[in-house]
Amino acid sequence: MGVATDTIAAIATALGEASIGVVRVSGPEAGGVVQRVFRTPRGKAPKLGPRRSIHYGLVVAHDGTPVDECILLWMPGPHSYTAEDVAELQVHGGVRLVESVLDCVLAAGARLAEPGEFTKRAFLHGRLDLSQAEAVIDLIRAKTELASRSALSQVRGQFGEKIRDLRRRLLRLQAHVEVTIDYPEHDVEDVASAEVVRVGEALMAEVERLLAGAKMGRILREGVATVLAGRPNVGKSSLLNALLRRERAIVTDIPGTTRDVLEEYVNLRGVPFRLLDTAGIRETDDVVERIGVERTRAALSEAELVLVLLNGAEPLTAEDEAILAETSAVTRVVVVNKADLPQAVDLAQVRAWAGASPVVQVSAKRWDGLAQLEETMVTLVIGGEVQTAEASYMTNARQAQWLREALADLRAAVQAAKEGATLDIVAVSLQAAYASLGMVIGEEVGEDLLDEIFSQFCLGK
Ligand code: GDP
Ligand code: ZN
């Protein structure tokens, strides 16, 4: 894999979101480029040495016209993000200003970076392993505090370290097996086979735990698919709005995820939920028969959590019962809404129909009971799991795929050893497992895959 030698630049902050804008430049000509576009208050080019430095001054166009005040961070390689010479020009936020600074930098000889190219260079220079690089993608996309905390710890290399540990143990096992193949005496072979079973099963258990963490990682990245089900007028839309507005009232810095009102993204106690109102676009309050079981059924097939709404101000109906029956096999909360009105519902009957599912009384209108509902939702979906170490081993789909391969290879090796197969057959599976684990952290990947992974990055990272 050749390491690129040209100099790249891009806007490194999210446009419009930050109060400062950063244009990042990386490559052998980074110093030369900023010397062309940056002037100190005395009108001089900055002095850039072999150490990090900070400079205050102006960004100027090629004809010397000032573009903006600027703070220049100089981070010479190899101790920079990409391990190349890196310069960051920090200017005031406005989108157009930052773009014109980028234009100056490009005019001064840098090339516009491709998405993920900075991180790709960091990887190619050995500054990050692949799982760390992918964690940067997750970090960019992290929608919640919890997800970003988890992504951060992966950037720090915990996941990669874990995989490397598994590989080291696997390598020792392989060495044992290979040595035994070279000196074939039966009793030695038996010892080696027993070792393959013992170590192999231990490794399998750990890979399985990492895979369990993959589910958590996906939940944190994509949100828990949550369906609001219930007959018309029970208050599904009202509850969805109440959860959203309450969250917005509590949390201020939500990344822009506004979508169709029928599907909304909320962050409840650090856990993202994708709330889907089953009512559908054409629902009106007076078209009572529209919705019901059928529409709910389709949405339910995708659901990881269902909120079954009932109207506490009315007696239970046959349709309520049908919806409760329909959802009996999924993880659900039975929500008795309109608690602010005189109650006509038979709570004992609700509990009987709800079975093991928790029942929560709320008023979507008055925002009563929402804290308890949120608590119940979070507990149902993840329980105490989030705080455990496994949650920090976030795994994306590609990593999970290779973990599953590794698990299958290990299982094959253990199986062969148990059945008394010859050790060279066992060795083949062990080698395959070693290679699969390598794929998880990018130690044996081809260029195509790298390009695919890095092209997912935002520009500027
Ligand atoms: P949906 O058809 O299930 O989506 O129900 P909506 O959210 O459209 O609500 C139907 C009607 O019930 C509307 O007039 C709401 O204002 C009213 N509503 C919803 N939640 C409550 C509540 O907690 N208390 C009261 N009093 N009215 C509610
Ligand atoms: Zn509605």
Q: Give pLDDT tens digits for 21-76.
A: 789 999 999 999 999 999 988 889 999 988 888 888 899 988 888 888 888 889 99
Does the structure's ipTM exceed the value 0.95? Answer: yes
pLDDT for the residue numbered 132:
76
Q: Which residue has the higher pLDDT, 15 or 257?
A: 15
Residue 381: what residue type?
A: V
Least confident of 61-65, 250-254, 255-259, 400-404: 255-259
178 — pLDDT class (breaks 50, 70, 90): confident
CA 365–ligand 1 middle distance (angstroms): 7
Please spell the DSSP secondary structure of 385-426, one letter per residue.
GGGSGGGGS---HHHHHHHHHHHHHHHHHHHHHHTT--HHHH
Cα 311 to averaged position of ligand 1 atoms, centre (Å): 9
Task: Report how far ligand 1's centroid is from the alpha carbon of 396 (Å).
Answer: 39
Alpha-carbon span 59 to 90, nearest angstrom: 10
442 versus 340: the higher-pLDDT residue is 340
pLDDT at 232 over 50: yes
DSSP state of 3: P
Give every CB contact of residue 224 below 8 A, 6+ residues apart in sequence: 271, 272, 273, 274, 304, 305, 377, 381
DSSP output for 281-324: TT--TT-TTSSHHHHHHHHHTT-SEEEEEEETTS---HHHHHHH
Residue 391 has pLDDT above 90, yes or no: no
pLDDT for res 149: 60
- β-strands 332-337, 271-277 pairing: unpaired
Q: What is the mean pLDDT of residues 243-257?
A: 48
> Known binder of ligand: residue 337?
yes
Peptide bond into 272 cis (omega under 30): no
What beta strand segments (E) does 206-270 contain?
224-229, 263-268
Calculate mean pLDDT across residues 107-115: 86
Q: In the predicted model, what is the mean pLDDT of residues 231-235? A: 86
The pTM of the full predicted model, rounded to 2 decimals, is 0.50
Q: Residues lining ligand 1, judged by CB closer than 6 Å?
A: 230, 232-238, 279, 285, 337-338, 340-341, 363-365
Q: Has 181 been labeled as part of a binding site?
A: no
| Shortest-distance Cα residue to atom 9 of ligand 1 | 235
